[in-house]
Amino acid sequence: MDHTVKIKDKVFERLLDASQIEKQIERVACELDAAYANVSQPVVMVVTLSGAMAFAWELSKRISFPVEWVFIKCSSYGSEMQSCGEVALSVVGRCELEGRDVLVIEDIVDSGNTWVSLHNHFMTLLPRTLRIATLSIKREVYDKALQIDFVALELENRFVVGYGLDYDGGGRNLNGIYEFKGV
Ligand code: IMP
Ligand code: MG
Protein backbone atom coordinates (compact mmCIF):
# COMPACT_ATOMS: atom_id res chain seq x y z
CA MET A 1 0.00 0.00 0.00
CA ASP A 2 1.18 3.50 -0.84
CA HIS A 3 1.77 5.62 2.25
CA THR A 4 2.93 8.76 0.48
CA VAL A 5 0.99 11.99 0.08
CA LYS A 6 1.66 15.10 -1.94
CA ILE A 7 1.02 18.47 -0.31
CA LYS A 8 1.44 21.35 -2.70
CA ASP A 9 4.87 20.82 -4.26
CA LYS A 10 6.23 18.29 -1.74
CA VAL A 11 5.99 14.55 -1.11
CA PHE A 12 5.63 13.13 2.41
CA GLU A 13 5.78 9.52 3.57
CA ARG A 14 3.98 8.05 6.56
CA LEU A 15 6.13 7.70 9.64
CA LEU A 16 3.50 6.88 12.30
CA ASP A 17 -0.12 5.78 11.96
CA ALA A 18 -2.93 6.93 14.24
CA SER A 19 -2.78 3.90 16.53
CA GLN A 20 0.95 4.37 17.17
CA ILE A 21 0.36 8.05 17.98
CA GLU A 22 -2.67 7.40 20.16
CA LYS A 23 -0.85 4.79 22.22
CA GLN A 24 1.63 7.49 23.23
CA ILE A 25 -1.17 10.03 23.84
CA GLU A 26 -2.75 7.47 26.17
CA ARG A 27 0.52 7.26 28.11
CA VAL A 28 0.72 11.06 28.40
CA ALA A 29 -2.90 11.14 29.60
CA CYS A 30 -1.94 8.74 32.42
CA GLU A 31 1.02 10.96 33.34
CA LEU A 32 -1.27 14.00 33.41
CA ASP A 33 -3.84 12.17 35.55
CA ALA A 34 -1.09 11.51 38.09
CA ALA A 35 0.25 15.08 37.94
CA TYR A 36 -3.17 16.76 38.28
CA ALA A 37 -4.90 14.23 40.54
CA ASN A 38 -5.60 16.69 43.31
CA VAL A 39 -6.51 19.93 41.53
CA SER A 40 -9.21 22.02 43.17
CA GLN A 41 -10.08 24.01 40.03
CA PRO A 42 -10.13 22.98 36.35
CA VAL A 43 -6.72 22.97 34.67
CA VAL A 44 -6.47 25.66 31.98
CA MET A 45 -5.33 24.02 28.76
CA VAL A 46 -3.80 26.69 26.55
CA VAL A 47 -4.11 25.22 23.07
CA THR A 48 -1.73 26.69 20.50
CA LEU A 49 -3.48 27.28 17.18
CA SER A 50 -3.78 25.77 14.82
CA GLY A 51 -1.55 22.72 15.09
CA ALA A 52 -2.29 21.52 18.62
CA MET A 53 -6.07 21.15 18.27
CA ALA A 54 -6.00 17.46 17.33
CA PHE A 55 -3.65 16.60 20.19
CA ALA A 56 -5.66 18.70 22.67
CA TRP A 57 -8.83 16.84 21.80
CA GLU A 58 -7.29 13.35 21.80
CA LEU A 59 -5.67 14.12 25.16
CA SER A 60 -8.79 15.70 26.68
CA LYS A 61 -10.86 12.59 25.92
CA ARG A 62 -8.45 10.42 27.88
CA ILE A 63 -7.89 12.39 31.08
CA SER A 64 -10.06 12.30 34.16
CA PHE A 65 -9.57 15.75 35.70
CA PRO A 66 -11.57 18.84 34.66
CA VAL A 67 -10.15 21.28 32.10
CA GLU A 68 -11.01 24.57 30.48
CA TRP A 69 -9.68 25.43 27.02
CA VAL A 70 -8.09 28.71 26.01
CA PHE A 71 -6.66 29.30 22.54
CA ILE A 72 -3.56 31.20 21.56
CA LYS A 73 -2.15 31.92 18.15
CA CYS A 74 1.64 31.72 17.93
CA SER A 75 3.26 32.89 14.74
CA SER A 76 6.95 32.57 14.19
CA TYR A 77 8.33 34.39 11.23
CA GLY A 78 10.33 32.38 8.76
CA SER A 79 10.07 30.26 5.66
CA GLU A 80 7.46 27.53 5.37
CA MET A 81 9.73 24.77 6.69
CA GLN A 82 11.97 26.67 9.10
CA SER A 83 11.04 28.95 11.99
CA CYS A 84 13.17 31.79 13.30
CA GLY A 85 13.59 33.50 16.66
CA GLU A 86 10.70 35.93 16.91
CA VAL A 87 7.29 34.66 18.04
CA ALA A 88 4.14 36.80 18.06
CA LEU A 89 1.44 35.68 20.52
CA SER A 90 -2.23 36.53 20.45
CA VAL A 91 -4.76 35.11 22.92
CA VAL A 92 -8.29 34.42 21.64
CA GLY A 93 -10.72 35.97 24.15
CA ARG A 94 -10.22 36.74 27.82
CA CYS A 95 -8.07 34.66 30.04
CA GLU A 96 -7.47 35.08 33.77
CA LEU A 97 -4.63 32.80 34.77
CA GLU A 98 -3.65 34.09 38.19
CA GLY A 99 -3.47 31.21 40.68
CA ARG A 100 -4.50 28.63 38.04
CA ASP A 101 -2.85 25.43 36.89
CA VAL A 102 -1.90 26.18 33.29
CA LEU A 103 -0.97 23.49 30.80
CA VAL A 104 0.23 24.62 27.38
CA ILE A 105 -0.66 22.17 24.60
CA GLU A 106 1.76 22.19 21.65
CA ASP A 107 1.95 20.23 18.41
CA ILE A 108 5.73 20.16 18.17
CA VAL A 109 8.70 21.60 20.02
CA ASP A 110 11.48 22.32 17.57
CA SER A 111 13.94 25.10 18.52
CA GLY A 112 11.82 25.83 21.60
CA ASN A 113 11.45 29.53 20.74
CA THR A 114 7.66 29.24 20.93
CA TRP A 115 7.70 27.54 24.33
CA VAL A 116 10.14 30.12 25.73
CA SER A 117 7.90 32.95 24.50
CA LEU A 118 4.77 31.31 25.89
CA HIS A 119 6.48 30.57 29.19
CA ASN A 120 7.74 34.13 29.60
CA HIS A 121 4.36 35.56 28.69
CA PHE A 122 2.30 33.31 30.99
CA MET A 123 4.66 33.68 33.96
CA THR A 124 3.76 37.39 34.05
CA LEU A 125 0.12 36.34 34.62
CA LEU A 126 1.06 34.56 37.88
CA PRO A 127 -0.27 31.03 37.37
CA ARG A 128 -0.08 28.53 40.25
CA THR A 129 1.73 26.08 37.96
CA LEU A 130 2.81 26.30 34.32
CA ARG A 131 3.69 23.22 32.30
CA ILE A 132 3.71 22.02 28.73
CA ALA A 133 2.42 18.88 27.03
CA THR A 134 3.54 18.43 23.44
CA LEU A 135 2.54 15.92 20.81
CA SER A 136 6.12 15.77 19.59
CA ILE A 137 9.63 17.08 20.08
CA LYS A 138 12.73 17.21 17.90
CA ARG A 139 15.03 16.58 20.85
CA GLU A 140 18.26 17.14 18.95
CA VAL A 141 17.14 20.63 17.87
CA TYR A 142 15.74 21.77 21.22
CA ASP A 143 18.46 23.81 22.91
CA LYS A 144 16.65 25.70 25.68
CA ALA A 145 17.01 25.23 29.44
CA LEU A 146 13.26 25.09 30.17
CA GLN A 147 11.87 21.66 30.94
CA ILE A 148 9.46 20.00 28.51
CA ASP A 149 7.12 18.30 30.96
CA PHE A 150 5.04 15.86 28.92
CA VAL A 151 6.01 14.46 25.50
CA ALA A 152 4.09 11.96 23.38
CA LEU A 153 6.53 11.43 20.48
CA GLU A 154 10.29 11.87 20.05
CA LEU A 155 11.04 12.69 16.42
CA GLU A 156 14.17 12.98 14.29
CA ASN A 157 15.11 16.36 12.90
CA ARG A 158 12.96 16.08 9.76
CA PHE A 159 10.02 18.18 8.66
CA VAL A 160 6.71 16.44 9.41
CA VAL A 161 3.01 17.01 8.72
CA GLY A 162 -0.27 15.50 9.86
CA TYR A 163 -2.20 15.10 13.10
CA GLY A 164 -2.48 18.88 13.27
CA LEU A 165 0.92 19.76 11.83
CA ASP A 166 0.98 21.56 8.51
CA TYR A 167 3.12 22.38 5.55
CA ASP A 168 2.09 25.81 4.26
CA GLY A 169 -1.44 25.34 5.63
CA GLY A 170 -1.89 21.82 4.21
CA GLY A 171 -1.80 18.33 5.67
CA ARG A 172 -3.23 19.06 9.11
CA ASN A 173 -6.04 16.52 8.77
CA LEU A 174 -3.83 13.55 7.84
CA ASN A 175 -4.61 10.79 10.34
CA GLY A 176 -0.95 10.01 10.98
CA ILE A 177 2.43 11.75 10.96
CA TYR A 178 4.19 11.99 7.61
CA GLU A 179 7.77 13.06 7.00
CA PHE A 180 9.21 15.07 4.15
CA LYS A 181 10.65 12.90 1.37
CA GLY A 182 11.34 15.26 -1.48
CA VAL A 183 9.82 17.41 -4.18
P1 IMP B 1 9.82 26.22 17.74
O2 IMP B 1 9.38 27.58 18.18
O3 IMP B 1 11.06 26.26 16.88
O4 IMP B 1 9.91 25.21 18.85
O5 IMP B 1 8.77 25.71 16.69
C6 IMP B 1 7.55 25.43 17.00
C7 IMP B 1 6.57 25.61 15.86
O8 IMP B 1 7.17 25.50 14.55
C9 IMP B 1 5.61 24.49 15.95
O10 IMP B 1 4.56 24.78 16.85
C11 IMP B 1 5.16 24.33 14.52
O12 IMP B 1 4.12 25.25 14.24
C13 IMP B 1 6.37 24.70 13.70
N14 IMP B 1 7.12 23.49 13.31
C15 IMP B 1 8.35 23.10 13.74
N16 IMP B 1 8.73 21.95 13.18
C17 IMP B 1 7.71 21.58 12.36
C18 IMP B 1 7.48 20.44 11.50
O19 IMP B 1 8.31 19.52 11.33
N20 IMP B 1 6.30 20.43 10.83
C21 IMP B 1 5.35 21.40 10.97
N22 IMP B 1 5.51 22.46 11.77
C23 IMP B 1 6.68 22.56 12.46
MG1 MG C 1 2.73 25.47 16.38
At residue 78, what are phi and psi to the nearest 5 degrees? Answer: 170, -170
Q: At 119, is the secondary structure helix, strand, or coil?
A: helix
Cβ < 6 Å from ligand 1: which residues? Answer: 51, 76, 83, 106-114, 159-161, 165-166
Q: What is the pLDDT of residue 75?
A: 83
Q: Which residues have C-beta under 5 Å from ligand 2, the single-atom ion?
A: 51, 107
Ligand 2 center from residue 66 Cα (angstroms): 24
Task: Please give the Cα distance from 74 to 137 (Å, whole number).
Answer: 17
Task: Please give the Cα distance from 8 to 171 (Å, whole number).
Answer: 9
What single-letter DSSP state applies at residue 114?
H
Q: What is the pLDDT of residue 86?
A: 78
Helix (H) or strand (E) holding 144, with range, is none
Task: Please give the Cα distance from 106 to 163 (Å, whole number).
Answer: 12
Q: Provide the edge-to-edge strand list for the sheet that holds 176-182.
A: 4-7, 10-17, 176-182, 160-161
Mean pLDDT, contiguous 10-residue spans, the chain (183 residues)? 94 98 98 97 96 98 97 79 77 90 98 95 97 98 97 98 96 98 95
Please report, for residues 26, 58, 74, 124, 140, the alpha-carbon distance to residue 100 in angstroms, rounded to integers and kept in the order given. Answer: 24, 22, 21, 13, 32
Residue located nearest, by CA, to atom 19 of ligand 1: 159
For the entire predicted model, the pTM comes to: 0.96
Note if the bond before 136 is cis, omega within 30 degrees. Answer: no
Q: Which ligand is nearest to the CA of 165?
A: 1
Residue of 107, 110, 166, 168 marked catalytic: 110
Task: Please give the Cα distance from 133 to 121 (Å, whole number).
Answer: 17
| Catalytic residue list contains 33 | no
